[in-house]
A and B are shown apart, each in its own frame.
Chain A
Amino acid sequence: MPAEIIQENSSEFDHVDIDPVTLDIIENALRNARIEMDATLVRTAMSPGIREQGDAFPLIADPAGKMIVGQFGSFIDGFLQQFEGTIEDGDMIFLSDPYSCGGAISHSNDWLVLLPVFKDGRLLAWTAMFGHQSDIGGKVVGSMPIDAKSIFEEGVRIPPVKIWKKGEYNEDLMKLVMHQTRKPDWCQADLNALIASCRVAARRVIELAERFGDDVYVSATQELLARNHRAMKALIAQAVVDEPVSFEDYICDDGLGYGPYKIKCTMWRKGDKVILDFDGTDPQSAASINFFLNENMFKMFFGIYMIMVFDPQILFNDGFYDLIEVRIPEGSLLKPQFPAALSGRTHALGRIFDILGGLLGQKTPEFLNAAGFSSSPHLFYSGWDNRAGKEGEWFQLFQIGFGGIPGRPLGDGPDGHSLWPGFTNVPNEFLERYFPLRIERYETEPDSGGAGLHRGGNGIHMTYRFLADGQIAIHDDRWFVPPWGVNGGEPGERARKVIERADGTTEIVGNKVDDVDVREGDQLHFITWGGGGWGDPLERDPEIIGREIREGLVTTKGARAYGVVASEEGGIDEAATQSLRDEMRGQRKDEEVFNFGPGIEQLRASCEEETGLKAPIQPEWHEHQVREAAE
């Protein structure tokens, strides 16, 4: 039964014609309100994940729940369909259970606050924001156990509940929730921050309605949606062909030794509509890498990618949703069945963007970017600080790393930058001051960016020296299946993790591991993937490569991928370069648009030799339901 919205004043908003100036003013004001939400959040949140790295997402929606401004598209309609209860003035909804909102949030670490905005007894708008909590309890520190078999192992799971009910705060509820986490101080501060942000936005919406009138405000939001619908319709007609186009990519493994997992998407246009069909995607995993993908959220991702690739002028909102149909097979990796574990969904979430890029650019290679949106690698480090004078106090770090941005039509991919919007790295001096850590190295990994006319960005080589005994966990991907290159560009290097023990021995560790003991003096080399290359590397000016050798971004060995022979000082041997390039051109086969590297079977065969890790085993599915999804 859908939610019942209680309004004292049930009269409908009148539709009024909006002049274009008023419309733009209202759009602009809403965009400013959204920026204000971000600012409020960052200033008051406490966990480094949100305050330093910005892992949170706001939105403002119309009374029906359609997003007018924001990034991830609205899930409010889906929530309203499932929520059994009333929505009244003074209520505020709080939730974290992906299964209660159709995957609007995709793991229980994301806490979502949803505020219905009432004015004069009528529902005028919704404001919402969710942010990643550093710890919500459960079996491992950070609450993202790689080997979880079900969501019950992944910490506190909050169904949609009212944190405020008709203006009354539910203190007992919050006590109960905060009792489940290892970091109630961070969670409380971050939750306060989410609430403050939603309230700020609500205030702005009411001010707007007061200024222009309720009917004008609501009519304007509808016109903004319609305007976006018109623009997207034109764009779709231009950019999407009616012949089906498919693209597939992989999650390397599930952390339990099985992989890779395939994600496949097929796109075609039928009349005005685009169909995006994930048929052919592998079934759900027994571990936690499942990504419960909300259809509406995927529509938004698709729309934003279309806009960024083809026409960055357009401002996006939910208006174009009915132009897109998303089909995700039940029981697949992207629509796992309850109670499948979901906490490690970051890898598939990232991979979705590489797939979108590959799909959209296939028929228009000049717009195509290489791969690199691969995951957001996590490191967890926790323990009781056993250094002198620290009295064994508890510490816990959750840090998000970055890799290389792919080579782009625009130019090289930046080295060691974030593909996620708004994210920043944590200052290393901050880490050293507040955690038992010394960061011995924070540099890019030479040659890790794929060779190309436009080089893929290098990944980061970060070396943590642990100053107290503790445990670490790592979540990363792209260690087995490389980030692909395009239009002649080479794939980027894969991710690696190496522990160098205080006694001088080294061991290669997996990219999805929990509960690894580390001792004082041990070092962890956390090396991320590089972006794929774009365009023919033999066309790149050798002088640029000479400079990059001096800059330490490329080595003399790496230069050979560009057909460049150079000295350690970056001096170019022009004759040798010419003949190497000629030789390489002569050996070329027909150019494909995508360069995926040697292929899965070859990767498996050479895995242990190249990565130091056992090749993942091809997963098999035996249960009837999930097997169907695989077919």
Chain B
Amino acid sequence: MRYRLGVDVGGTFTDLLLFDNETGEFWREKTPSTPEDSSEGILNGVGSITQKAGVDPAQIEFFLHGTTVATNAVLEGKGARVGLIVTEGYRDIMQIARSFVPGGLAAWIVWPKPEPLAALEDTVTIAGRMDADGNEIRPLDEEQVRNQLRSLKDAGVEAITVSLINSYVNGEHEKRVGEIAREVMQDIPVSLSHGVLPEMQEYERTLSTVANASVRPVVGKYVSNLRDKLHSSGVTGKLSLLRSDGGLMSSQAAEEHPVNILMSGPAGGVTGALWVAKNVGFKNILTLDVGGTSTDVALIENLEPRRVRTTDVGHLSVRASSLDVKTVGAGGGSIAYVPELTGALRVGPESAGAAPGPVAYGKGGEQPTVTDANVVLGYLPEDLLGGTFKLDREGAKKSIQTIADALDIPLMEAARGIIDIVNENMFGALRMISVQQGYDPRHFALMGFGGAGPLHVNAVAKLMGSWPAISPVSPGVLCALGDATTRMRTETARSFSRLATDTKVEDLAELLDEMAAQTRAELTEDGIPESQITSEFEVDVRYAGQAFEVPLTIDSDRLRSAGIEGILARFDEEHRRLFTFNMDTPHEIVNLRAVALGEAPQLPAAELAKGDGNANTAKIGNHAVWMDGREQDAGVYHRAELKQGDTIPGPAIITEMDSTTLVESGCVAIIDAVGNILITPA
């Protein structure tokens, strides 16, 4: 039992990465995804990767999996039909939402309002009321509750959510409604809002609970199907899923609380980048995950990825922790166009996607895309995926020419313009998570991965001043690598909402201890020995009256020694860093969180054979590229042949099975001890 298998299912490909715990050696595999039933693609991949490695599937101890099954259920409206029970007077809670219409002035004219996740027709109200301090103002009417539940049952709902006003302070009414629900409809899953998210703000709490209820049956079916199939093909190891916050959770826990895996997909790349960062010896990393339709970016500081308290899926913002991943509609398939009235050059967010795809793929795409521009400029040589298909450069040229004509500039300038603009869009997203949060990007390295990340990472690093630009080992399957190398995690949060001056250290410490016990118990239930669990805490602090809280990590000892004042001093420091000023206003302690973590696996990367610094043995030939306003000769290298310490001057192109790394002129690439490509200005 010495292997960990990471599996990441994407729209087009299923990526697998098999990791040998003992040697750090790994194997990777890419198989076509099977959207009808993704377990098929997974099993195909498991079969071929174990064969490739000569490993018995029974030797796989951990099967670690990032999945977009929950995400897609929400985005495609394929979740379960949820019956929602709310407090009298609040039936339209999901219909009104926060009254927010996105966009600028007059944007309401063109805004298509999305349908609520729980249909208004399936939303009922009940009497019974708690006040803001948790006192019962009016009791439940149990007969009415029963009647409402029966009406939902007759309507044919597949899941029940109970979300009552002020239940974050007192959940007794919700509990009782839950009990009655189980009597009335035994086989239908029930979610209670104070259990899923014991926090203030009724809309967000309700939405999160409904989202959880809605994806639960889908995720449950998916997990049990996958588990059965894995078993019958001999994989008996433990199945865990990647959470949106970059930790792992047992598949059983994921079935209960699927709201925690809504952003499992993008989290894989960040945790993969984290593993690479540890091996390279960089503590601060900005990640650039470039796919076909979009780019995800995230920030890792001191080997900790930044987390946020919300998970954004489509137009929904659900209250569950996730890695702070920002997405922009800029990827290889982004379409370039010139609107008639303004004559401006625009790239994305419209994408040619996987079908019809870029013109160069020859699958019927006709509109010019970023990939086409890369092909025209020579950055993407004609042979992709180890030569399984050839790119149509002439077709790409023809499509980019339409842009050049519309702008009245030469072909190559138009192509480079498209690349510059898409790089700028990625730069904009990176600024949002760095500069805007008070981080100086010059103190970070930039890691590019996903299909097209290594193609853009050098140019974007130039814009950011973030060096080196890193093209990690196997950039195309970094998500699967992340799935394989991260650790178990769970957390709980509570509203506290008290002024710091009214708070005693002992009260705070006691509450945190209680929350720690709760989260540790969750992990021990999943079979993790108590001795391997560590606890961490966060408190959210703000100036009373602000809407924005600053999360501060603390531990029990530090809390007891430095007291509340210690926390407040750190808050003031952080506030000044973020916003350049402090205030005399009293501090409010808003939320508390406890996190329990399983042991971090010690997974070293395998060292690459040392070379003599000369990369010539890996050189395949030369290719003409257009860069800095002129045609230049770039060396083309075979990544698998490169050795530790090899140095490659730009411009250069480094190819491998599923990715291409571009080294710009004026820069130089060095291969590090474990095979990462580090690019710096020459």
Q: List A contacts of B420 (CB < 8 A).
A: 21, 25
Inter-subunit contact A42/B547 (CB<8 Å): yes
Q: Is A179 an interface residue (CB 8 A)?
A: no
Inter-subunit contact A424/B98 (CB<8 Å): yes
Inter-subunit contact B548/A71 (CB<8 Å): no
Complex: chain B residue closest to A47, CB-CB: B545
Complex: chain A residue closest to B578, CB-CB: A43
**Distance A452 CA – B413 CA, assembled complex (angstroms):** 52
Inter-subunit contact A308/B109 (CB<8 Å): yes
Partner of B424, one of A29, A40, A186, A315: A29
Inter-subunit contact A23/B89 (CB<8 Å): no
Q: List A contacts of B307 (CB < 8 A).
A: none
Interface code B358-385, partner A: CB below 8 Å = 1, 0 otherwise?
A: 0000000000000000000000000000
Inter-subunit contact A419/B101 (CB<8 Å): yes
Q: List A contacts of B103 (CB < 8 A).
A: 421
For chain A, the count of residues having a C-beta within 8 Å of the partner chain is 87
Q: Is B202 an interface residue (CB 8 A)?
A: yes
Given contacts A25-B420, A189-B585, A227-B344, A424 and B108 within 8 Å (CB-CB): no
Shortest Cβ distance from A469 into chain B, in angstroms? Answer: 18
**Distance A551 CA – B341 CA, assembled complex (angstroms):** 43
**Distance A413 CA – B660 CA, assembled complex (angstroms):** 48
Shortest Cβ distance from B587 into chain A, in angstroms? Answer: 13
Inter-subunit contact A313/B339 (CB<8 Å): yes
Given contacts A227-B344, A410-B112, A550-B121, A424 and B99 within 8 Å (CB-CB): yes
Q: Is A309 an interface residue (CB 8 A)?
A: yes
Inter-subunit contact A427/B200 (CB<8 Å): yes
Shortest Cβ distance from B663 into chain A, in angstroms? Answer: 22
Given contacts A313-B339, A443-B92, A19 and B409 within 8 Å (CB-CB): yes
**B-binding segment of A75-83, A112-120, A145-153, A430-438:** A430-438
Q: List B contacts of A551 (CB < 8 A).
A: 95, 120-121
Inter-subunit contact A28/B424 (CB<8 Å): yes
Complex: chain B residue closest to A300, CB-CB: B105
Q: List B contacts of A298 (CB < 8 A).
A: none
Inter-subunit contact A25/B424 (CB<8 Å): yes
Q: Is B253 an interface residue (CB 8 A)?
A: no
**A-binding segment of B258-266, B425-433, B668-676:** B425-433
Given contacts A39-B436, A185-B585, A405-B101, A45 and B547 within 8 Å (CB-CB): yes
Inter-subunit contact B345/A46 (CB<8 Å): no
Q: Is A312 an interface residue (CB 8 A)?
A: yes
Q: List A contacts of B105 (CB < 8 A).
A: 71-72, 301, 304, 308, 420-421
Interface code B114-137, partner A: CB below 8 Å = 1, 0 otherwise?
A: 000000110000000101100001
Q: List B contacts of A430 (CB < 8 A).
A: 200-201
Q: Is A132 an interface residue (CB 8 A)?
A: no
Q: Is B96 an interface residue (CB 8 A)?
A: yes
Chain A residues numbered 15-35 whose CB sits less than 8 Å from any CB in chain B: 19-21, 23-25, 27-29, 32
Inter-subunit contact B585/A552 (CB<8 Å): no
Q: Is B110 an interface residue (CB 8 A)?
A: yes
Partner of A189, one of B91, B204, B543: B543
Complex: chain A residue closest to B120, CB-CB: A551
Shortest Cβ distance from B166 into chain A, in angstroms? Answer: 6
Inter-subunit contact A433/B497 (CB<8 Å): yes
Inter-subunit contact A417/B96 (CB<8 Å): yes
**Distance A274 CA – B589 CA, assembled complex (angstroms):** 55
- Most A CB within 10 A of own CB, among B110, B113, B204, B585: B113
Q: Is B1 an interface residue (CB 8 A)?
A: no
**Distance A323 CA – B112 CA, assembled complex (angstroms):** 31
Chain A residues numbered 433-453 whose CB sits less than 8 Å from any CB in chain B: 433, 438-444
Inter-subunit contact B548/A433 (CB<8 Å): no
Partner of A421, one of B93, B104, B407: B104
Shortest Cβ distance from B438 into chain A, in angstroms? Answer: 11
**Distance A413 CA – B413 CA, assembled complex (angstroms):** 45
Q: Is B146 an interface residue (CB 8 A)?
A: no
Shortest Cβ distance from A182 into chain B, in angstroms? Answer: 14
Q: List A contacts of B88 (CB < 8 A).
A: 441
Interface code B382-422, partner A: CB below 8 Å = 1, 0 otherwise?
A: 00000000000000000000000001010001001100110
Q: List B contacts of A433 (CB < 8 A).
A: 132, 200, 497
Q: Is B682 an interface residue (CB 8 A)?
A: no
Inter-subunit contact B89/A441 (CB<8 Å): yes
Inter-subunit contact B104/A25 (CB<8 Å): no
Shortest Cβ distance from B464 into chain A, in angstroms? Answer: 12
Given contacts A71-B104, A196-B580, A308-B110, A416 and B417 within 8 Å (CB-CB): no
Q: Is A305 an interface residue (CB 8 A)?
A: yes
Q: List A contacts of B409 (CB < 8 A).
A: 19-20
**Distance A20 CA – B424 CA, assembled complex (angstroms):** 14
Shortest Cβ distance from A571 into chain B, in angstroms? Answer: 14
Inter-subunit contact A429/B345 (CB<8 Å): no
Given contacts A32-B431, A551-B120, A414 and B546 within 8 Å (CB-CB): no
Q: Is A51 an interface residue (CB 8 A)?
A: yes
**Distance A42 CA – B436 CA, assembled complex (angstroms):** 13
Interface code B555-589, partner A: CB below 8 Å = 1, 0 otherwise?
A: 00000000000000000000000111101010000
**Distance A428 CA – B98 CA, assembled complex (angstroms):** 11
Chain B residues numbered 154-171 whose CB sits less than 8 Å from any CB in chain A: 165-166, 168
Inter-subunit contact B428/A28 (CB<8 Å): yes
Q: Is A460 an interface residue (CB 8 A)?
A: yes
Shortest Cβ distance from B571 into chain A, in angstroms? Answer: 13
Given contacts A43-B548, A429-B201, A29 and B428 within 8 Å (CB-CB): yes
Extra contacts, 7 of them, besides A43-B579, A418-B101 (Cβ < 8 A), are A24-B346, A36-B436, A44-B546, A44-B548, A425-B99, A430-B201, A444-B92
Q: What are 21 A-to-B residue pairs whose CB atoms are below 8 Å?
A: A19-B409, A20-B407, A21-B421, A24-B346, A32-B428, A40-B579, A42-B548, A43-B546, A196-B580, A196-B581, A235-B341, A402-B99, A418-B99, A421-B104, A429-B165, A433-B132, A438-B137, A440-B89, A460-B96, A463-B89, A552-B92
In the A-B complex, the 4 residue pairs with the closest CB atoms: A43-B548, A441-B89, A21-B417, A46-B545
* Residues of A that sit less than 8 Å from B by CB: 19-21, 23-25, 27-29, 32, 36, 39-40, 42-47, 51-52, 71-72, 185-186, 188-189, 192, 196, 199, 227-228, 230-231, 234-235, 301, 304-305, 307-309, 311-315, 353, 369, 402, 405, 408, 410-412, 414-425, 427-430, 432-433, 438-444, 460, 463, 547, 550-553
